């Protein structure tokens, strides 16, 4: 392998050819036993106030073309019923708080014992809680605790109504990861949801609902 004067890797945007040269340079240095250059510092966001975090979360959710309703705790059931609208049947995990279902008109189907995928596919909506939500990315993270149920619940019905308490909302992804670290150590899966399901994998044609619900409605519940 030829060695010699090698260009210094840059942190600024580069062309494909330059990027390829930097990658090969790093490989050459590694092979030659050269010390690896230090990584750039991980970007850290300036802390925001709780009001700013709430506003940012709402902005991100709406940017994904999902819906968001913000209510006090006393209005959670009414907001859930409105989010479900004309839905005839809604599936819920076995540990979902009963208070969230008061006053609704949809038939409630409990996932206990576990429904088959075909049975879930025949139900229009699912109602769950979440483990934590991230304002910077507008992401809901489910760790599939009792109020969230197994993964299939949040992947098959066409409408997902998710109740998020304001104390479950954090600003950054690292803060969210700290909240779910214990769940990961227990071996529980995580489902990250940023808006309704959509993909453009095939010829850049946008298709909704392939990998999960097409519609997402967040009910953000205050103290």
- All structural domains of the chain with their residue ranges: 52-221
In the block, tokens 């809604």 appear at 90
Distance CA 107, CA 216 (A): 19
CB 131 within 8 A of CB 179: yes
Confidence (pTM)? 0.80
Give residue 4's pLDDT: 46
Residue 213 pLDDT > 70, yes or no? yes
In the block, tokens 């699912």 appear at 126
Residue 1 pLDDT > 50, yes or no? no
Residue 5 pLDDT > 70, yes or no? no
Give residue 13's pLDDT: 64
Q: Longest Cα pair distance anywhere in the chain, in angstroms?
A: 75
Torsion of CA 23, 24, 26, 30, to 10 degrees: 140
Distance CA 126, CA 162 (A): 8
DSSP state of 73: G
Q: What does the pLDDT look like over 85-94, one tens digit per residue?
A: 999 999 999 9
Q: Which helix (H) or strand (E) holds 183?
A: helix 173-185
Residue spans of beta strands (DSSP E) within 30-121: 67-71, 89-92, 107-110
- Over residues 145-155, mean pLDDT: 95
Give residue 2's pLDDT: 43
Give residue 149's pLDDT: 96
Residue 198 pLDDT > 50, yes or no? yes
Does 52-221 carry CATH code 3.40.50.10420?
yes
Give residue 14's pLDDT: 67
């Amino acid at each position: 392998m030829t060695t010699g004067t090698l260009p210094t890797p840059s942190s600024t945007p580069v062309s494909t050819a330059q990027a390829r040269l930097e990658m090969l340079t790093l490989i050459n240095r590694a092979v030659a036993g050269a010390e690896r250059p230090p990584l750039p510092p991980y970007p850290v966001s300036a802390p925001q106030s709780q009001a700013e975090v709430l506003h940012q979360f709402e902005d991100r959710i709406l940017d994904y073309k999902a819906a968001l309703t913000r209510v006090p705790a006393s209005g959670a059931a009414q907001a859930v019923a409105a989010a479900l609208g004309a839905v005839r049947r809604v599936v819920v995990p076995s540990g979902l708080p009963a208070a969230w279902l008061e006053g609704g008109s949809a038939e409630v189907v409990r996932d206990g014992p576990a429904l088959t995928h075909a049975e879930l596919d025949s139900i229009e909506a699912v109602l769950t809680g979440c483990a934590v939500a991230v304002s910077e990315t507008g992401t809901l993270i489910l760790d599939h605790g009792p109020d969230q149920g197994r993964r299939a619940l949040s992947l098959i019905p066409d409408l997902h109504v998710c109740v998020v308490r304001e104390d479950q909302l954090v600003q950054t992804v690292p803060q969210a990861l700290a909240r779910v670290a214990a769940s990961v150590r227990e071996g529980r899966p995580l489902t990250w949801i940023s808006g309704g399901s959509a993909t453009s994998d095939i010829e850049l044609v946008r298709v909704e609902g392939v990998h999960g619900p097409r519609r997402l409605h967040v009910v953000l519940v205050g103290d």
